[in-house]
Structure 1
Amino acid sequence: MELLNPIDAVFLTAESREHPMHVGSLQIFERPAEQGTDFVRSLYAELMSATPVRPRFRRRQRRILGNFSSVVWAHGEIDLEYHLRRCALPQPGGTAELLDLVEHLHGTLLDRHRPLWEGRIIEGMAGDRLGLYVKMHHALIDGVSAQRLLQRSLTDDPFTTRIRAPWTVSRTEPEPDVPESLWQQVRHALPRLATEVGGVRSAVRALTEGKLALPLSAPATMFNVPIGGARSIAVGSWPMERIHAVRRATGTTVNDVVLALSAAALREYLCKRNALPDKPLTAMVPVNLRRTGETESEGNLVAALLCDLGTDIADPAQRLAAISTSMRESKRVFTELPRLQALALSALLMSPLGLTFLPGFQALPRVPFNLVISNVPGPRKPVYLQGARLEHNYPLSIPFDGQAMNITVTSTADSFDVGIVGCRRAVPHLSTLIDHLDTALTELEHATC
């Protein structure tokens, strides 16, 4: 058995039919021209033969104190034929057919009696392309780690045919150590708990001294309502060089530009529905706390920054400047804290969100923030899967009560890829946000470049 950290336990406890708590990825590959009709069959067969399976991919929930406890993982055998399957799109196999399938897969709960991950190899796509959809429970992994694991099976050599499946142990690294006993894990966790108490004190001080935007200060919007279980998904891609051109012209970061584009798209979407509040929207922006070279074995290690999106500002350049200032001030506080204290501060910023999962608190008069916007780094050069080039990599995350939409961005070599997931009922015509993002990028280029 393996002890969960508190954040991972929250993701398990908060899950319901309306709130599937998994993150996903939709990867689109260009099939190699020299491969015949057996390419997918041979790819699937090689993946199915990839063993041994890492402990992370054999974890399943085990209750040890009754039905209200989710504090440990159990490890067991795995049925790869269940977790990885092939499926095909109906003709003509375009974006509409692809997203219709992925919306269904992404809105379906993972089986708690099995390890909490699944994958689909998707055939029948137009343009002789191939899709790969993978989802993993957020209790197992955060978005940054998920992207790193998916990239384990890719290579920058287009002629390499060997696959390194993300769930396997590399031939060049030793087998994972046997987990400590549950008692050993509890005993080792106690000193960390004492340290985290000091972290909470520092976190409270950062809030009370006015160094950070406070939760529960965001305006209510149409996104901050109870949600259902059905999902809508929208995806879009743009040349990465366009993002870098704005970044260089303004002296900001790629993440600042991502937030500015999202803010502009949200502003336009709400304006067209006469629903734009006078106060600026607030986004929660996850920031990776892992050090260079650190593994993904410790669950979720992400800080939560709150950013003023400047949606009350009409000028694109001024809005970008306001967002950059807001992010810079938030980052300064977090970088001055040790990692445990940064996690404690994140927990305080996120704590009002937990109230929405309690009976009677779903309709809080104030919301902690309006939505989550994530920027997850991807591969910086072309990568391949048995010679099939990765064209696009769309990250797909989690909406929940009071947060009916999520925007996640990554990069794929020279492509800027956006995945938007929303409650199908609460966020109508989600695909129009892709059009608004396209318009926002053009307007920002004209205003700054």
Structure 2
Amino acid sequence: MDRLSGLDASFLYLETPAQLMHVCGVIVLDPSTMPGGYSFDAFRGEIDRRVRDVPEFTRRLRKVPLGLDHPIWVHDRHFDIDRHVHRLALPSPAGPAELAELTSHFAGLPLDRSRPLWEMWVIEGYDGAHAHDSVVVFMKMHHATVDGVSGSNLLSHLCSLEADEPPMEPSEPLVIGREPGQSELFGRALITTVTRPLSAVRLVTPSAQLITKTVGRARAGTAMAAPFSAPRTSFNGTITGQRAIALADMDIEDIRQIKNATGTTVNDVVLAIAGGALRSYLLDRDELPSSSLLATVPVSVRAETKRSSGANKVSALFAKLGTDTEDPLERLQDMAVHNKFAKEHHQAISADSLQDWAEFAAPRTFGLAVRAYAGLKLPEKHPVVHNLVISNVPGPPVPLYFMGARIDGLYPLGPVFHGAGVNITVMSNNGQVHVGIIACKESMPDVGDLVRRFPVELAALKAAVVTAQAPPSSIKRARKKKAASGR
């Protein structure tokens, strides 16, 4: 019996028609590399063949009687690929704007919980930046099934390193076990319910010690940024079910050069770029707060966790984005210091603490609480917890082929929440960094304006680094030349 972990199940309980808890991906493909050429029937047939032995694609939810415990995964004995893979075509000419409008619509549709929690749209007729007549795959999977790292690993089962090679095999073969009866489920759930208070007692002491240590770090100035300290913006309120998507690309070599020149990390650079993009976006709208925006940054704990079960093995840290700092290099340097403190603070927290406490999530209580929270518009009344979520997911450094088609773009998209209506996710792929932004449409109608600022901010940061490294005489000559050209 494959029971959902508390953290996995929490993504089910947190879901409402407005707060959808699936993750998405926009995969831009070059079908010219496919052996034998592209046809939808062959494409869908190959997907069907590859997902049959991967449990995440062929299992569905089954509730426990009376909601006494978290649901379990069972094999879908009536799995039908036609219920998961769909075909459509964009009207010609179709570019990024048309693709964004279509994928935004799909992102706002909930998944059917009576079937395995994933869907895929194969979109033909896209003329994008990479190539003409590209095929785009828009994929959705529920967060109860995957997190950022496991989603990336899951995608590898559908990909190969060469166009004519077989896909990477699943790490574990699919085993179809016995499906428990109602009485067995009820009995197991009853035992879990009775013993749950004992588990809570064991968590109290470590949690109290963590709070004490956090207070000490805060006094010493070495704690990560605190939640509920974020300034309010136009995208920090109650969200609706409407979504807006925008995509952009950056050169990973530029990011690496900045990292190496400044002694920072790739994550520091990405966050600094995001901070600069958000600063200019808000500044142009006369909405820039005087204090820095605060982001929640998911962190994988797969290497540290003691838990073997569960799809989501994540924690999170809070990071200020330096939106109150104009100079891009100064923003990066400040962020590197603060991120170092945040990482040290995060490492002092048990890797399993979030998962341990999530075990106490109750389906009905969570569901009612989320609906009341949104219905009463509480996100607009209490201090802002965080402004947005930013994720940085490492991807493949070499070309990948999806059903034989070369992947030219790989844009991940996470969920948005009441109180934080924007999610930014970046993923590296074969020399590029792909930026995917998804927002509540009412919270940020022109999300494309934000994403277009990412390459601009990268160029500004790179120029600032070059200027800082130049000899003083060179800087003086450049300033004189600029002054002369302005006369």
Q: Same fold (TM over 0.5)?
A: yes
Q: Aligned letter for 1:18? A: A
1:289 and 2:301 are equivalent in the alignment: yes
Structure 2 letter corresponding to 1:291: A
Of the three residues 330, 334, 337, the one matched with 2:342 is 330
Deviation at 1:42, TM superposition (A): 1.5
Distance 1:56 1:173 in 2: 12
Partner of 2:157, secondary structure, is helix
2:121 match: 120
**Pair 1:323–1:89, CA change in 2 (3 A):** same
**Aligned AA for 2:11?**
F
Residue 409 (1) aligns with residue 426 (2): yes
2:390 equivalent to 1:385: no
The letter for the 2-side match of 1:115 is P
- 244, 253, 277: which is aligned to 1:241? 253
In structure 1, what is the equivalent of residue 322 of structure 2? Answer: 310
> 1:17 and 1:2 mapped to 2: Cα distance?
27
User: What is the CA–CA distance in structure 2 between the aligned matches of 1:111 and 1:415, rounded to whole Å?
Assistant: 34
Secondary structure of residue in 2 paired with 1:382: coil
Q: How far is the alpha carbon of 1:115 from its aligned partner?
A: 1.9
Flag the 1:65–1:45 CA change in 2: closer, same or farther, 3 A: closer
Distance, in Å, in 1 between the alignment partners of 2:463 and 2:358 is: 36
1:34 & 1:84 partners in 2: Cα distance?
19
Task: Structure 2: state its 5+ residue gaps.
Answer: 360-368, 467-487
Give the 3 Å change call, closer, same or farther, for CA 93–292 of structure 1 in structure 2.
farther
Q: Distance in 1 between matches of 2:372 and 2:68?
A: 16
Q: After the TM superposition, which residues 228-377 of structure 1 pair with which residues of structure 2 at under 5 Å, given as runs? A: 228-291=240-303, 298-341=310-353, 358=373, 359-360=375-376, 361-377=378-394
Question: Displacement of 1:174 after TM fit?
Answer: 3.5
Q: Deviations over 1:260-288 (max 9, x none)?
A: 01100100111111111111111000010
Of the structure 1 ranges 180-189 and 257-266, higher mean CA displacement relative to structure 2 is found in: 180-189
Q: Does residue 131 of structure 2 align to residue 132 of structure 1? A: no
Other structure's SS at 1:32 match: helix
Query: d(CA) in 2 for partners of 1:312 and 1:206?
Result: 28
Matching residue of 2:90: 89
Asked if structure 1 preserves the Cα contact closer than 8 Å seen for 2:64 and 2:72, the reply is no
Structure 1 residue 294, shift from structure 2 partner? 10
Other-structure match for 1:3:
3
- Please give the per-residue CA displacement for 1:219-258, whole angstroms capped at 9, x wherever unaligned: 1111101111111100001211011111111111111111
AA at the equivalent of 1:322 = D
CA distance in 2 between partners of 1:297 and 1:388 (Å): 33
Deviations 1:47-74 (A, max 9, x none): 22346344333443433354x7772124
Partners of 2:407 and 2:339 lie apart in 1 by: 31
* Residue 433 to residue 357, structure 1, CA distance change in 2 (3 Å): farther
Q: Hey, what does 1:16 align to over in structure 2?
A: 16
Change in Cα spacing, 1:3 to 1:275, as seen in structure 2 (3 Å) is same
Deviation (angstroms), 1:193: 5.7
Indicate the SS of the match to 1:208.
helix
Instruction: Report the alpha carbon displacement of residue 370 of structure 1 after superposing the two structures with TM.
Output: 0.6
Match of 1:31 in 2: 31
- In structure 2, the partner of 1:204 is 211
Taking a change above 3 Å as real, the CA distance of residues 37 and 379 of structure 1, as seen in their structure-2 partners, is closer
After superposition, the Cα gap between the structure-2 partners of 1:58 and 1:177, relative to the gap in structure 1 and judged at 3 Å, is: closer
Give the superposition deviation at 1:158.
3.2
Q: Distance in 2 between matches of 1:177 and 1:325?
A: 49
1:156 corresponds, among 153, 161, 175, to: 161
Q: Deviations over 1:190-234 (max 9, x none)?
A: 687665444423432343322332211111111101111111100
SS of corresponding position for 1:311: coil
2:453 matches 1:432: no
Residue 206 of structure 1 contacts residue 333 of structure 1 at CA under 8 Å; is this kept in 2?
Answer: no
Residue type of the alignment partner of 1:13: Y
Secondary structure of 1:339's counterpart equals coil
CA distance in 2, matches of 1:109, 1:27: 20
Which residue is 1:350 aligned to? none
For 1:40 and 1:292, the matched residues in 2 are separated by 42
The answer for the alignment partner of 2:480 in structure 1 is: none
Partners of 2:51 and 2:316 in 1: how far apart? 36
Instruction: Write the distance in 1 (CA, Å) between the matches of 2:148 and 2:230.
Output: 24
Tell me the alpha carbon deviations over residues 366-401 of structure 1, each in whole angstroms, 9 at most, x when there is no partner: 111110000011111111124321111000111121
Pair 1:192–1:393, CA change in 2 (3 A): farther
Residues in 2 aligned to 1:319 and 1:51: alpha-carbon distance in whole angstroms = 44
Match of 1:351 in 2: none
Q: Distance in 1 between matches of 2:255 and 2:263?
A: 12
User: Matched residues in 2 for 1:137 and 1:397: separation?
Assistant: 10
CA distance in 2, matches of 1:293, 1:334: 13
Q: Distance in 1 between matches of 2:322 and 2:85?
A: 43
Report the residue type matching 2:287 in the other structure: A
Q: 1:8 to 1:272 in 2, by over 3 A?
A: same
Mark the CA change 1:346 to 1:200 in structure 2 (over 3 Å): closer, same or farther: farther
Q: 1:158 to 1:216 in 2, by over 3 A?
A: same
* Secondary structure in 2 matching 1:362: helix
Q: Is the 8 A contact 1:305 1:346 kept in 2?
A: no
- d(CA) in 2 for partners of 1:65 and 1:204? 37
CA contact (8 A) 2:33 2:404 kept: no
Equivalent residue pairs, number: 436
Query: Whose helix proportion is higher, 1 or 2?
Result: 2
1:338: how far off?
A: 3.4
Q: Give the percent of matched residue pairs that are identical in Structure 1 and Structure 2.
A: 34
Say if 1:356 and 1:364, in contact at 8 Å, map to a contact too: no
**Using the alignment, how far apart are the partners of 2:260 and 2:386 within structure 1?**
29
